[in-house]
Amino acid sequence: MSKERLDKVLVARGFFETREKAKQNIMAGLVFVNNVRIDKAGEMIDPDLPISVKGNALPYVSRGGLKLEKALSEFKINALHKTAIDVGASTGGFTDCLLKNGADKVVAIDVGYGQFAWKLRTDKRVTLMERTNIRYVSLSDIGYLSDICTIDVSFISLKLVLPVIKKLVKEGGEIVCLVKPQFEAGREKVGKKGVVRDPATHKEVIKGIIDFSMYNEFSIGGLSFSPIKGPEGNIEYLLYILNKPGRNKVLNIDELIANVVDESHEIL
């Protein structure tokens, strides 16, 4: 593959809006290609190499990108040259993260409208489906089976979303679900301002989603917690599943749930 200027690659992959901004960050020593710092904007690089920008407090259009960034890293999900669906796209944090990690195409779906970031709205790699309820999306609406799906939905249970996703993702496709206890637990377990604080409820909710996933012929790849809390202070969880039945990557699910929930309450 032919090499390209670093500053041009940074703009093409969405790290910066202009080559001038890219150049400033390169000269400041903040840009790393394949974990090696590059300080020349004109350096010729393989455009498919992993790139990171240090010292950037929020490298995505919203905080959501930080959640998915952790999932991709922790679960070792490779988005390079993949097709993806971003369910509950909102302003586009997950979409932005997928693109920065090399995804070729992202279909961004949201029931709302007018929130999606302009720079993503005008990106040719993105297909935006606003005013769209994922429960009524079919494969014909998208046109192809995707490699990856990310889910960040509110006011609806994942149990209503996952059966639809199964029909939109390739066999063996990778799915990252943001598990939000406030939208999965019974009303009697949700506190003031919609906050669920009880670790036992968190464990119960996660176990319920995992059991539902396995019943619907997904396999479990991993579990972690979001590095940041939701808007009202809820702890949220990152569930990694694969669109195939059979053996889970996780050997002891109950132990994993307990460890992840306990750690999340200690750290957050």
pLDDT tens figures, 222-231: 999 999 888 7
Better-predicted residue by pLDDT, 191 or 23: 23
Q: Give the pair of three-digit tokens for residue 136.
A: 């009524």
Please say if the pLDDT value at position 96 is more than 90. Answer: yes
What fold is seen in the domain 64-267? Rossmann fold (3.40.50)
CATH of 4-53, one of 3.10.290.10, 3.40.109.10, 3.40.50.720, 3.40.50.1100: 3.10.290.10
Q: What is the mean pLDDT of residues 170-192?
A: 90
Residue 47, pLDDT score: 87
CATH 3.40.50.150 in the chain is located at 64-267
What is the pTM for the complete model shown? 0.80
Average pLDDT over residues 14-37: 84
What residue spans of the chain are helical by DSSP H?
6-12, 19-27, 64-74, 93-100, 118-121, 139-142, 158-165, 199-215, 253-267
In the chain, which segments carry CATH 3.10.290.10?
A: 4-53
Q: Which of 64, 3, 59 is nearest to 30 (CA)?
A: 59
Distance CA 32, CA 18 (A): 18
